[in-house]
Chain A
Amino acid sequence: MLSPPALETRGLTIRFGGHVAVNDVSCRFMKGRLTAIVGPNGAGKTTYFNLISGQLHASAGKVLIEGSDVTGLGPAGRAKRGLGRAFQLTNLFPGLTALENVRLAVQSRAQAGWSLLSVWNDRRDLIARAETILEQVRLSDKRYVTPSALSHGDQRKLEVALLIAMEPKIFMFDEPTAGMSVDEVPTVLELIQDIKDRGNATVLLVEHKMDVVRSLADRIIVLHNGNLVADGEPGAVIASPVVQEAYLGLEASSHG
Chain B
Amino acid sequence: MTRSSAPARSFTETRIRRGPSSWLLSSDTPRSWALSLILIVIVTCLAAAPFLFSGSQPLSTAAKICVFVLLVASYDLLLGYTGIVSFAHTMFFGIGGYGIAIALERLGPSWESVAVGLVAALALSAVLAAVIGLLSLRVRAIFFSMITLAVASAVAVLASQLSAITGGEDGLSFQLPAELRPAFRPFAEPILGLAINGRILAYYMIFITAAVLFLVLLRVVNSPFGRVLQAIRENEFRAEALGYRVVAYRTAASVISAMAATVAGALLALWLRYNGPDTTLSFSIMIDILLMVVIGGMGTLYGAIIGAALFVLAQSYLQVLMGAGSQTLSGIPILPDLVHPDRWLLWLGLLFIVSVYAFPGGIVGHLRKRGRSHELG
**A interface, CB within 8 angstroms of B:** 53, 55, 74-77, 79-80, 85, 87, 91-97, 99-100, 103-105, 107-109, 112-123, 126, 143-144, 146, 148, 162, 166
Q: Tell me the B1-35 residues at the A interface (CB within 8 Å).
A: 2-3, 5-7, 9-10, 12-14, 16, 23, 26-27
- List 9 contacting pairs A-B, 8 Å CB cutoff, sorted by A: A75-B240, A80-B243, A93-B235, A104-B242, A104-B244, A107-B228, A112-B224, A113-B244, A146-B7
**Do A91 and B238 contact each other (CB < 8 Å), given the known contacts A96-B230, A97-B9?**
yes
Do residues B240 and A95 form an inter-chain contact, with CB atoms below 8 A?
no
Give every chain A residue within 8 A of B6 (Cβ-Cβ). Answer: 95-97, 146
Known: A104-B239, A166-B242. 19 other contacts (CB 8 A): A76-B240, A79-B240, A87-B241, A91-B241, A93-B239, A96-B227, A100-B227, A104-B228, A107-B227, A107-B228, A113-B224, A113-B228, A114-B224, A116-B226, A117-B219, A119-B27, A121-B16, A143-B10, A146-B6
Q: How far is the CA of A108 from the CA of B235 in the complex (A)?
A: 15
Do residues A119 and B14 form an inter-chain contact, with CB atoms below 8 A?
no
CB B361 to nearest CB in A, in angstroms, measures 12
Q: How far is the CA of A121 from the CA of B219 in the complex (A)?
A: 11
**Do A104 and B231 contact each other (CB < 8 Å), given the known contacts A97-B10, A116-B225?**
yes
Q: Tell me the B75-98 residues at the A interface (CB within 8 Å).
A: none
Q: How far is the CA of A21 from the CA of B6 in the complex (A)?
A: 39
Do residues B242 and A79 form an inter-chain contact, with CB atoms below 8 A?
yes
Do residues A144 and B10 form an inter-chain contact, with CB atoms below 8 A?
yes
CB A205 to nearest CB in B, in angstroms, measures 17
Do residues A91 and B27 form an inter-chain contact, with CB atoms below 8 A?
no
Give every chain B residue within 8 A of A75 (Cβ-Cβ). Answer: 240-241
Do residues B242 and A119 form an inter-chain contact, with CB atoms below 8 A?
no
Do residues B223 and A117 form an inter-chain contact, with CB atoms below 8 A?
yes
Give every chain A residue within 8 A of B343 (Cβ-Cβ). Answer: none
Do residues B223 and A76 form an inter-chain contact, with CB atoms below 8 A?
no
CB A160 to nearest CB in B, in angstroms, measures 14
Do residues B13 and A121 form an inter-chain contact, with CB atoms below 8 A?
yes
CB contacts between A and B, total, < 8 Å: 130
Give every chain A residue within 8 A of B237 (Cβ-Cβ). Answer: 55, 91
Q: How far is the CA of A119 from the CA of B226 in the complex (A)?
A: 9
**Do A116 and B220 contact each other (CB < 8 Å), given the known contacts A53-B241, A80-B243, A166-B242?**
yes
Provide the main secondary structure of the chain B interface.
helix
CB A47 to nearest CB in B, in angstroms, measures 16
Do residues A118 and B223 form an inter-chain contact, with CB atoms below 8 A?
yes
**Do A113 and B249 contact each other (CB < 8 Å), given the known contacts A75-B240, A76-B240, A108-B242?**
yes
B169 proximal to A (CB < 8 A) = no
Instruction: Return the contact of B235 from the options A91, A103, A166 (Cβ within 8 A).
Output: A91
Do residues A76 and B3 form an inter-chain contact, with CB atoms below 8 A?
no
Do residues B5 and A118 form an inter-chain contact, with CB atoms below 8 A?
no
Q: How far is the CA of A162 from the CA of B243 in the complex (A)?
A: 12
Instruction: Return the contact of A115 from the options B23, B223, B244 (Cβ within 8 A).
Output: B223
Instruction: Return the contact of A100 from the options B9, B16, B27, B242 (Cβ within 8 A).
Output: B9
Which of the listed residues A53, A55, A116, A148 has the most CB atoms from chain B within 10 Å of its own CB?
Answer: A116
Give every chain B residue within 8 A of A121 (Cβ-Cβ). Answer: 12-13, 16, 27, 222
Do residues B219 and A79 form an inter-chain contact, with CB atoms below 8 A?
no
Do residues B243 and A108 form an inter-chain contact, with CB atoms below 8 A?
yes
Q: How far is the CA of A103 from the CA of B2 in the complex (A)?
A: 18
Q: How far is the CA of A97 from the CA of B3 in the complex (A)?
A: 10
Instruction: Return the contact of B223 from the options A96, A109, A120 (Cβ within 8 A).
Output: A120
Q: Tell me the B208-248 residues at the A interface (CB within 8 Å).
A: 216, 219-220, 222-228, 230-231, 234-235, 237-246
Instruction: Return the contact of B244 from the options A95, A97, A108 (Cβ within 8 A).
Output: A108
Which of the listed residues A74, A120, A162 has the most CB atoms from chain B within 10 Å of its own CB?
Answer: A120
Q: How far is the CA of A53 from the CA of B242 in the complex (A)?
A: 11
Do residues A144 and B13 form an inter-chain contact, with CB atoms below 8 A?
yes
Do residues A120 and B3 form an inter-chain contact, with CB atoms below 8 A?
no
**Do A120 and B227 contact each other (CB < 8 Å), given the known contacts A75-B240, A108-B242?**
yes
Give every chain B residue within 8 A of A96 (Cβ-Cβ). Answer: 6, 9, 227, 230-231, 234
CB B75 to nearest CB in A, in angstroms, measures 18
Do residues B228 and A119 form an inter-chain contact, with CB atoms below 8 A?
no
**Do A122 and B244 contact each other (CB < 8 Å), given the known contacts A107-B224, A113-B249?**
no
Q: How far is the CA of A256 from the CA of B230 in the complex (A)?
A: 45
Nearest to B23 among chain A residues (CB) is: A119
Nearest to B232 among chain A residues (CB) is: A93
**Do A115 and B227 contact each other (CB < 8 Å), given the known contacts A91-B237, A105-B242, A144-B7?**
no
Do residues B224 and A120 form an inter-chain contact, with CB atoms below 8 A?
yes
Q: How far is the CA of A74 from the CA of B244 in the complex (A)?
A: 10
CB B233 to nearest CB in A, in angstroms, measures 8
